[in-house]
């Protein structure tokens, strides 16, 4: 048994979700938000993210923050298309398998709910996502800004079936500070000038 911080679990959950779209990537942050909301909203005790009623329906600042942190850590990337951004994971296969195993064994209920939500929302046209999510009682029965789903994860969770080495590897994987220092050490070892990080704007806001 080993411990993972709440923010680590949230970031890993984002990677687990985005990986479902495969190499083609998730077609814009809107469907990532909705897929995660409808995965968690049906579970009484396993909400990874807090969602509120926003301009575009069910929206989580925590999902947006996690997406941007993962972009800075180099674990997701974005292809900018004319109509929407393609979001996809860049983690190696070994790490992806660790993430899948974590959620299949330690968060199996949420993982099953995510797969079900993905099958419904993963490839809907944006027009249908808007229409169906705005017709849902979570939207129609609440005022704007109301909390629709309150994150229930503690600050630190003890995870059964997870070794301390794997917990450390997963935590480092989604830590942008660790990734930046690793990048700097690699440049120093190769005696290369410090390549500037891309000036990433916070693009995963409620705008799709």
What is the tens place of the pLDDT at every residue in 66-76? 999 999 889 99
Per-residue model confidence as pLDDT tens digits over 34-63:
999 999 887 867 789 999 999 889 999 999
The answer, yes or no, to whether residue 201 has pLDDT greater than 50, is no
Averaged pLDDT, 172-185: 64
Residues 6 or more apart whose CB falls under 8 angstroms from that of 153 comprise 6, 9, 10, 47, 48
* 129, 121 contact by CB (below 8 A): yes
Look at residue 194 in the predicted model and tell me its pLDDT.
Answer: 54
pLDDT band, residue 186 (cuts 50/70/90): very low
Instruction: Give the Cα separation of 18 and 16 in Å (integer).
Output: 6
Averaged pLDDT, 142-165: 90
Closest CA to 174 of 78, 104, 89: 89
Averaged pLDDT, 159-173: 90
Look at residue 195 in the predicted model and tell me its pLDDT.
Answer: 52
Look at residue 176 in the predicted model and tell me its pLDDT.
Answer: 73
| Cα dist from 62 to 59, 93, 192, whole Å | 9, 26, 36
Look at residue 184 in the predicted model and tell me its pLDDT.
Answer: 45
| Cα dist from 186 to 28, 72, 93, 190, whole Å | 32, 17, 21, 6
Percentage of the chain lying above the pLDDT 90 cut: 63
The answer, yes or no, to whether residue 181 has pLDDT greater than 80, is no
Q: Which residue has the higher pLDDT, 198 or 19?
A: 19
pLDDT band, residue 183 (cuts 50/70/90): very low
pLDDT band, residue 208 (cuts 50/70/90): very low
Averaged pLDDT, 24-33: 91
Look at residue 102 in the predicted model and tell me its pLDDT.
Answer: 95
Lowest mean pLDDT among 60-64, 85-89, 183-187: 183-187
């Amino acid at each position: 048994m080993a411990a993972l911080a709440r923010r680590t679990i949230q970031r890993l959950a984002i990677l687990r979700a985005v990986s479902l779209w495969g190499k083609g990537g998730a077609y814009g942050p809107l469907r990532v938000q909705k897929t995660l909301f409808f995965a968690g909203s049906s579970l009484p005790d396993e909400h990874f993210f807090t969602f509120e009623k926003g301009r575009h329906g069910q929206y989580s600042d925590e999902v947006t923050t996690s997406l941007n942190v993962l972009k800075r850590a180099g674990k997701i990337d974005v292809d900018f298309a004319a109509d929407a951004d393609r979001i996809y994971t860049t983690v190696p296969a070994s790490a992806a398998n660790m993430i899948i195993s974590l959620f299949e064994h330690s968060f199996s209920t949420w993982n099953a709910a995510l797969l079900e939500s993905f099958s419904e929302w993963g490839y809907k046209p944006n027009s249908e996502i808007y229409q169906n999510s705005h017709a849902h009682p979570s939207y129609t029965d609440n005022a704007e800004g109301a909390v629709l789903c309150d994150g229930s994860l503690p600050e630190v969770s003890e995870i059964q079936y997870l070794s301390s080495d794997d917990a450390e590897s997963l935590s480092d994987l989604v830590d942008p500070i660790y990734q930046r220092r690793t990048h700097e050490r690699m440049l120093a070892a190769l005696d290369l000038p410090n390549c500037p990080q891309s000036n990433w704007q916070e693009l995963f806001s409620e705008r799709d």
